[in-house]
Structure 1
């Protein structure tokens, strides 16, 4: 299931509640890739960790690591506990979503992009931030189109469901923030991670010019988190997350 230390890559993901029953399908697609990670780590809420499914127990026998993390970290469990404990290890951290069925070159393509430009955060799927007509603020989230370009940009927001590769230096920056997750972003990890990248000087690139649209497990996108973030929840976060200094930098990249 893992590559035995040859790739220098760790893949990390989280799940919770009823989605635990299907996460093994996603993990199997990652394990079937042409490039296998050195470590494949799943983070669970304490209640789910105490009662793993039979499918997860079988995957542990094949090399999957399953660890407990605070339930209140929500989607931030996919990266935060790893960064707090292992940012200094120097591995490339690739996050995955718990319901996506990844193609065989998914990890290889992210790693290839990272090796070509290791100072950029690489994603398979992203949105480009847009400004209001007078450029005084960021436009509503729904106006941020899925990207049709690949070049690194500070105005590109990586979308976690496609998979995102975070360099070790950015992992260290995330670890420096400590174990807390602000209430504002408790359900919105993509935007929080983008702001960290922005302030750390890491642009975001997309592996291909057209944003990837990988298949997902049936019914998984009906979750309350997915609906809330698309139906205006992200606008509340955006208006409070980015300060005037951030906006000045984004103006150079978000026009169009």
Structure 2
């Protein structure tokens, strides 16, 4: 799944501006709930700082979809957060959005508090990012894949953990970016396009506690991958069809994933959390995959 379509800058900017205007108008006028009590997945995301002024667009884009979550939760760690200062979010709360406070777990705010506080048997979690506009069929696509593979962790975007001829992990920046569906221990799902986590995974995430705060504080995709391996849960990238995401303007100046890659943080954190046993699982899985 691509972030921003492959078109000219001017055309992309025009299309994005039109989508944002439509979402703003919808937020001002719609009374349609953003949740469906009969759904079997919840959606969780987090935001902070200036992004709290635009995260409503991400929420509204998901709420415009053909499938809605059972619960829709936005996590914030700012102790001074005041909903009155965010009219777009205030209108979304009136339609079913929950805003909950939590400790500052960094990027884990969208997953770890949910796993420890809100998880329920039979209910999966889909995480989303606060800097993207999601297409109409996004949540339904993840739900459909979850019905086919209910025990797997599922996403639309992934990289393959890659190794050199000696079996040593290559730098993260050189990992193969997946373009077709693939599954196995070598598949690292990346969160911007959304990831589905089954209840069994959420139980394991909660059970492993807050070790991530010291060994993998800024690379939640890597930590979640490790939890999958430890729990024997398969990471699976599925096809996204023609869907693509639009980035929300003024949210991409210093995105965490770019900082992690450019400064080598992903490599340091991957080394800190990967045992030889886990690396061997990834090597075997990668050798059996289609290149």
In 1, distance between residues paired with 2:171 and 2:273? 13
Higher alpha-carbon deviation: 207-216 or 33-42:
207-216
The worse-fitting range, judged by mean Cα deviation, of 175-184 and 137-146 is 175-184
- C-alpha contact 1:149 1:210 (8 A) present in aligned 2: no
In structure 1, the partner of 2:276 is: 244
Give, in whole Å, the separation in 2 of the partners of 1:236 and 1:181. Answer: 13
What pairs with 1:104-115 in structure 2 (closer than 5 Å)? 104-115=136-147
Q: Which residue of 2 aligns with 1:128?
A: 160
Distance 1:215 1:143, change over 3 A: same
Distance 2:112 2:149 in 1: 24
Q: Deviations over 1:169-191 (max 9, x none)?
A: 00000111235543221111110
TM-superposed CA distance for 1:57, in Å, is 1.1
Q: How many Å separate the matches in 2 of 1:74 and 1:112?
A: 30
Shift of 1:53: 1.3
Verify the 8 A CA contact 2:156 2:240 in the aligned structure 1: no
Please name the residue that 1:164 is paired with. Answer: 195
2: CA distance, partners of 1:186 / 1:46: 18
Is contact 2:115-2:206 (8 Å) kept? yes
Aligned equivalent of 1:205: 236
Shift of 1:204: 1.3
Matches for 1:215-226 after TM superposition, within 5 Å: 215-223=246-254, 225-226=256-257
192 and 152 in structure 1: CA distance in 2 versus 1, 3 angstrom threshold: same
Instruction: Provide the residue aligned with 1:43 in structure 2.
Output: 75
Gaps of 5+ in 1: none
In 2 relative to 1, CA 212–249 (structure 1 residues): closer, same or farther, beyond 3 Å?
Answer: farther
SS at match of 1:182: helix
Q: How many residues align?
A: 254
How has the CA–CA distance of structure 1 residues 48 and 187 changed in structure 2, closer, same or farther, with 3 Å as cutoff? farther
Aligned to 1:64: 97
Of 184, 188, 195, the match for 2:226 = 195
Query: When the two structures are superposed, what TM-score results if normalisation uses the length of structure 1?
Result: 0.93
Q: For residue 164 of structure 1, report the CA deviation from its aligned partner.
A: 0.1
- Asked whether the equivalents of residues 126 and 211 of structure 1 are also in contact (C-alpha less than 8 Å), the reply is no
> Structure 1: how far apart are the matches of 2:81 and 2:231?
33
CA offsets per residue over residues 2-36 of structure 1, 9 Å max, x none?
A: 34321111000001111111100000000001001
* Secondary structure, aligned partner of 1:90: coil
Deviation at residue 148 of structure 1 after TM alignment: 1.9
Instruction: Render the CA deviation track for 1:29-79: whole Å, top value 9, x for unaligned.
Output: 0000100111110000133534551211111011100000112x0110001
Q: Which residue of 2 aligns with 1:6?
A: 38
Report Cα offsets for 1:123-173 as digits up to 9, x if no partner: 0111111002211x2110011122122132111111110000000000000
